[in-house]
Amino acid sequence: MAVIATVLFAFAAALLGPVGTAWAGSVHNGASQPVYSYTDAIRESVWVDTGTVVDGAPVRVAADIIRPREPAAHGRRIPVIMDASPYYSCCGRGNESQVKTYDANGQPVQFPLYYDNYFVPRGYAVVLVDLAGTNRSDGCEDVGGPLEVAGAKSVIDWINGRATAHSSRTGGTEVKASWADGSVGMIGKSWDGTIANGVAATGVDGLKTIVPISAISSWYDYYRSQGAPLYPGTPADLAGYVEDPATTARCATTQGELAAGAPYSGDWTSFWQQRDYVANADKVKASVFVVHGQQDLNVRTVHFGQWWDALAARGVPRKIWLSQTGHVDPFDYRRSAWVDTLHGWFDHYLMGVDNGIDRQPMADIERAPDQWSTDAKWPAPGTRLTTVHLNPGTLGGSSTNSGTTAFTDDPSRDENAWAADVDRSTPDKTVFSTRALDHDVRMSGSGDLTLTVGSSTTSAHLSAVLVDIGPAAIRNYLGSGEGISTLTTRSCWGEGTPGDTGCFLDTAADTSQVGATVFSRGWIDLGHYASLDHGRPLTPGTPYRMTVHLSPTDHVVPAGHRLALIVAGTDNGLIDPPDTKPTLTVDLSHSELRLPLVGGTGALPAGQQPRAAASQAAPLAVLTGRQPADLR
């Protein structure tokens, strides 16, 4: 299907027919067609009452709208594609950091990304919403909290006639969405997709589908992992990043709440509960198209996994794409297939087109750079959460666990150093490995590791990673593009104007040859052994039992490779260290690893034998160059 579109005026005339004929709309041959003029589209801004008050003043959020002129002239209403973001002025959207631009009268000119260029000619309105406290919206940025969610939700309410909008920030005339049919699809990467999750979790009527890309499902899990701090900052820092200085000065109370509600201790608070969308997954009415990079070390993969599982329990219509990239939009790693698929998704769930996308394979998985497979369901049919036994140096091949192992936290080391030294005995880690596999082993979904651990000090953090040991060409997810390279050529996706061309820099896969690949991770703070509500000091020498949640994955360890579990302390760059430097002793007889194996107990080869450590072996090649987190 061609995706570099132009407005085909002859075809448009054939669809629209001569004056006085019946309305045909934009759908033809099972898909919406680019029959409307992008140049002549209506561009306008409204300010929507959110029903919330900050410092005694009502909060209105700004929404910039672009919609085709022709449907309204024929008395036809159209659906809405909506992206609510805090980044439209401070930081930009997409690989080229596009921001909104306006003419001298304040009317919108550039709508970031390609949604407007591609979908407006096909009969959609595109609405870009400034989250509360950002760009042209009122209020304070509360980072995934009630103000943000209420602001985005209020725009859907306005589109459905349940909220009031105005022609200016200070009031002006009332504006009605008489052009809208009430159907809304929310989309966005990172923070934008996070708000789509949050709004869907309110159960708002009119939201028919969401497409969260690399999105957060619970803000606690963005900043903490089972008590372990992932970042030293607080949501107040993130708010300050997207607000202008004047807004930050006005929002001191909210800033204080953002700092106080997110204790560095890792304790679960009511602040986190307000920002846990998974807890309200039972309210979701919209279909959900989840997209995530399996090597996203910014919005880590726990977010899509727990959201997916909660939606599955609810029976929500779902689709999923999992790439090998880090924090990257599919427009930048699988552009043509992505736009085609998104087009079909919106046509089906917003225009009601029976195009069969709801009957296509549920999952697309990137197996190697630009090589994809599909599955009818996800996790893959035949997946079983399977107990894999642990013995010193050995993974699987036994009917029991036995022995002990110990390691000393070294905060200067990380998962890639551990993987490179998988066959070296080093004091900072312990390794459990299979022998070379005689057949492919696939994992699909989330696993866990229950450990009985004693610490030599009063505090300890623990990391667990699954490693595919063997040569592979993978996307360079730790590079500056997190798996993509940006080229100098451009291609156009839809219609354009001089102020919004619809043309974007092309990309290609950035690849690397490695000898070991970390593909699933988990981190905990042992001080939260009793509850996430309150951490406490450890008693040295006392064993504590905790379960590490391993991040969801869909990975095939090929025949000839080995599967390894590495358990260690601080994973440098991914969690912060504890305030002591403990030695941890693991009682394997009271520990258990469970993996989501396709084929269940028969997936791993039997008869594993312990391997002698190759202490003089050269380190394996792994990726280096981790980049700092950026929620965009």
Q: What is the pLDDT of residue 246?
A: 74
Q: What residues contact 429, with CB distance under 8 A and at least 6 apart? A: 407, 413, 418, 421, 566, 567, 568
Please give the distance of CA 522 from its chain centroid, rounded to a whole number.
17
Parse the chain into domains and list their residue ranges.
9-336+343-375, 383-480+515-602
Contact 349, 186 (CB under 8 A): no
DSSP lists the bridge partners of residue 189 as 213
CB atoms within 10 A of CB 576: 20
| C-alpha closest to that of 284 among 254, 312, 322, 245 | 312
Contact 108, 66 (CB under 8 A): yes
Rounded CA separation 575/303 (Å): 17
Contact 290, 212 (CB under 8 A): yes
Is 190 marked active-site?
yes
Is 439 marked active-site?
no
Rounded CA separation 569/626 (Å): 18
| C-alpha closest to that of 83 among 174, 187, 7 | 187
**CA end-to-end distance (rounded Å), the chain:** 30
10 Å CB burial of residue 6 (0-12, 13-18, 19+) is exposed
Q: What share of the chain is helix, strand, coil (3-state, %, to 5)?
A: 20, 35, 45
Rounded CA separation 35/568 (Å): 59
10 Å CB burial of residue 166 (0-12, 13-18, 19+) is middle
Residue 334 structure tokens: 């699988």
Q: What residues contact 610, with CB distance under 8 A and at least 6 apart? A: 391, 392, 393, 394
Phi, psi of 326 (to 5 degrees): -85, -125
Rounded CA separation 78/122 (Å): 10
Rounded CA separation 235/506 (Å): 34
CATH class given for the domain over 383-480+515-602: mainly beta
Rounded CA separation 518/263 (Å): 30
Residue 220: its H or E element: helix 220-223
- CA geometry: angle 538, 552, 237, nearest 5 deg: 65
Q: What residues contact 175, with CB distance under 8 A and at least 6 apart? A: 44, 46, 165, 166, 167
How is residue 210 annotated by DSSP? E
How is residue 601 annotated by DSSP? G
Rg of the chain, C-alpha, whole Å: 26
Rounded CA separation 555/153 (Å): 37
pTM comes to 0.94
Contact 513, 486 (CB under 8 A): no
Q: What is the pLDDT of residue 630?
A: 61
Catalytic residue among 292, 303, 327, 343: 327
Q: What is the pLDDT of residue 437?
A: 96
Write the single-letter amino acid at 155.
V
Contact 314, 200 (CB under 8 A): no
CATH of domain 9-336+343-375: 3.40.50.1820
Residue 67 structure tokens: 């919609």
10 Å CB burial of residue 242 (0-12, 13-18, 19+) is buried
Segments in the chain below pLDDT 70: 1-24, 606-631
Q: What is the largest CA-CA distance in the chain?
A: 86
Catalytic residue among 26, 85, 190, 218: 190
Phi, psi of 524 (to 5 degrees): -145, 160
**Ordered DSSP codes for 71-139:** HHHTT--EEEEEEEES-TTTT-BTTTTB--EE-TTS-EEE-SSSHHHHHGGGT-EEEEEEPTTSTT--S
Contact 386, 601 (CB under 8 A): yes
Helices (H) and strands (E) in the chain, counts: 13, 34
Rounded CA separation 513/509 (Å): 13
Give me the helices (H) in 465-601, please.
none
- CA geometry: angle 63, 69, 70, nearest 5 deg: 145
Please give the distance of CA 164 from its chain centroid, rounded to a whole number.
32
Write the single-letter amino acid at 334.
R
Rounded CA separation 196/205 (Å): 14
| C-alpha closest to that of 264 among 237, 214, 224, 204 | 224
Catalytic residue among 221, 267, 276, 296: 296
Write the single-letter amino acid at 13.
A
Counting every residue written for the chain, the total comes to 632
Is 549 marked active-site?
no
Rounded CA separation 419/595 (Å): 19
Residue keyed to tokens 């590791």: 449
Residue 617 structure tokens: 């072996």
Task: Reduce the secondary structure of 13-81 to three states and give it as a string.
Answer: HHHHCCCCCCCCCCEECCEECCCCCCCCCEEEEEEEEEEEEECCEEEEEEEEEEECHHHHHCCCCEEEE
